[in-house]
Structure 1
Amino acid sequence: MPSPNVEPRQDGKTVRILLLHYTGMDDAERACAWLCDPISKVSCHYLVDAEGRITQMVDEDLRAWHAGQSIWKGEHDINSCSIGIEIHNPGHDNGYPDFPPAQQAAVGALGLDIVRRHRIAPEHVLAHSDVAPRRKIDPGEKFDWRDLHEQGLGHWVAPHPLGGGQFFQMGDSGDAVEALQAMLALYGYGIDITGEFDADTKAVVGAFQRHFRPERVDGIADRSTIETLRRLIDALPDST
């Protein structure tokens, strides 16, 4: 089912990001219809339903309208350099059920094919919440990024265990907060390095937790969060 909500990729940009979303709607057919409705002004390249069936709506050579206002590694036009996969799930406002194994496997197989053909780096397989942490929380903490990594897709390290230790939260400030912001920016998140743990910093920390430390998503930069971030940075290739 082709979507009319497309255009050419801008400024000669090529695909280097695979971006995963959830639909946030209770029915996959309704989600598909919405993504193909000119009134919606949204689209994606693929939709994966709960049974693992895949529908392509936009040719990979074209710019779909799925990322919205977003940023990663200084790039603001994520739509022009990404392929978007919508994963059918009603979302946090509608009970947020688990992602079925068949759906998870289908996303993995489709994603692996895409990254191989476009030579997308593992660390550029991202959540919508990674590139728009102040607006979006999908696909959320129930999506199994570790399983995806075990299928050969995406960047992942074992999260540091939950526990005690120093933590940073809203209202904190100083060199340690500045260092935290610098690490998040180094990994790719769009965050200002101010030394102030403000609402934007909390949103970015929460997005990081949803993807890489999903056991607890609270926007507080505890030892587990910071050590997991350090491990991910250490695991990046030198050219990143």
Structure 2
Amino acid sequence: MKSVTAAIVMALTITACASAPPAARTPQQPEWHPSPNYDVRSAQMIIIHQTEMESAEAALLTLQTRNSGGRVSAHYLIGKDGRLYQLVAESSRAWHAGASRWGGVADLNSSSIGIELDNDGVAPFSTAQIDTLLQLLGDISARLDIPRHLIIGHGDIAPARKRDPSPLFPWQRLAEAGYGLWPRAPLAPVPAGFDPWAALRLVGYDLRDPAAAVRAFHRHYRGNEDEQWLPGDAEILHDLQLQLMEMPPAQAVDPVSDVRRNM
């Protein structure tokens, strides 16, 4: 009888062990074997915005907190009086570009520096503000080795969603100081067979919404927001294309391949 009882107990024990859940395993901790073969992620372009708010103080509050449209930030904010604020370290990813694309690059938050300008979208940009912007552009582009033609607007990278900075923004003044791409005078005649759409794409514009792309191009280079091609557009695009093609390889950066090299 004792042997039968012992056999039953043993069987029950084996059954219980078989049905019990396995013990939780402690995740294996990796062994740290550092490699020197890496680069720190760095910005490849600079994107200029306008706040479209009543003051720099109001913009700071929005850029530092949650808001109804979701959390946003920028690396820098420049007030109308030229005062410079920094909100995010240049090595960090600020949330300023949103759904956007330039030269085939879609994740522009990871590859750009965002600069907000205190402007309501209607008023001209102040001299003090642009003076500070030029100083900041010189500092950032020199330290981070950002190609100076890759200084663009929020409306350029998101033409279907954004229109900042406004047509009043002085892109020509920036170009005369060496920042951004601008057509040279006098403009050369356009060769036979010239394709303005191909040139617009080469400059960097996203053509998935053609009318929006043309509108963004006009805002930047013509000071208007017309969605149809205008006389003189082809000559401007031809010159911009020539400038990009004439740049030395070290300056004519392909944003797509350059970002991939830093991934």
TM-score range, shorter chain: 0.7 to 0.9
Contact 2:149 2:179 in 1 (8 A): no
Name the amino acid aligned to 2:157.
V
The equivalent position to 1:188 in structure 2, one of 204, 209, 212, is 204
Between the aligned partners of 1:111 and 1:131, the Cα distance in structure 2 is: 18
Cα distance, 1:226 vs. partner? 1.8
Q: How many residues align?
A: 203
Match in the other structure for 2:221: 212
Cα deviation digits, residues 46-88 of structure 1 (max 9, x gap) = 0000000000000000000000000011110000000000000
Matched, 1:49 2:79: yes
Match in the other structure for 1:233: 241
Match in the other structure for 1:202: 211
The equivalent position to 2:47 in structure 1, one of 19, 31, 39, is 19
Change (3 A) 1:159 1:90: farther
Gaps (5+ residues) in structure 1?
A: 1-10, 162-175, 193-199
Cα distance, 1:156 vs. partner? 1.4
Alignment of 1:1-240 (within 5 A): 13-39=41-67, 40-91=70-121, 96-158=122-184, 179-192=195-208, 200-214=209-223, 216-236=224-244, 237=247, 239=249, 240=252
Between the aligned partners of 1:160 and 1:211, the Cα distance in structure 2 is: 19
Change (3 A) 1:221 1:13: farther
SS of 2:232's equivalent in the other structure is helix
Cα distance, 1:13 vs. partner? 4.3
Between the aligned partners of 1:139 and 1:160, the Cα distance in structure 2 is: 26
Q: Percent identity?
A: 38
Between the aligned partners of 2:110 and 2:166, the Cα distance in structure 1 is: 23
Name the amino acid aligned to 2:230.
D
Between the aligned partners of 1:71 and 1:33, the Cα distance in structure 2 is: 27
Between the aligned partners of 1:224 and 1:181, the Cα distance in structure 2 is: 14
Cα distance, 1:158 vs. partner? 4.2
Contact 1:159 1:213 in 2 (8 A): no
Cα distance, 1:154 vs. partner? 1.7
CA RMSD of aligned residues (A): 2.0
With normalisation by structure 1, the TM-score equals 0.79
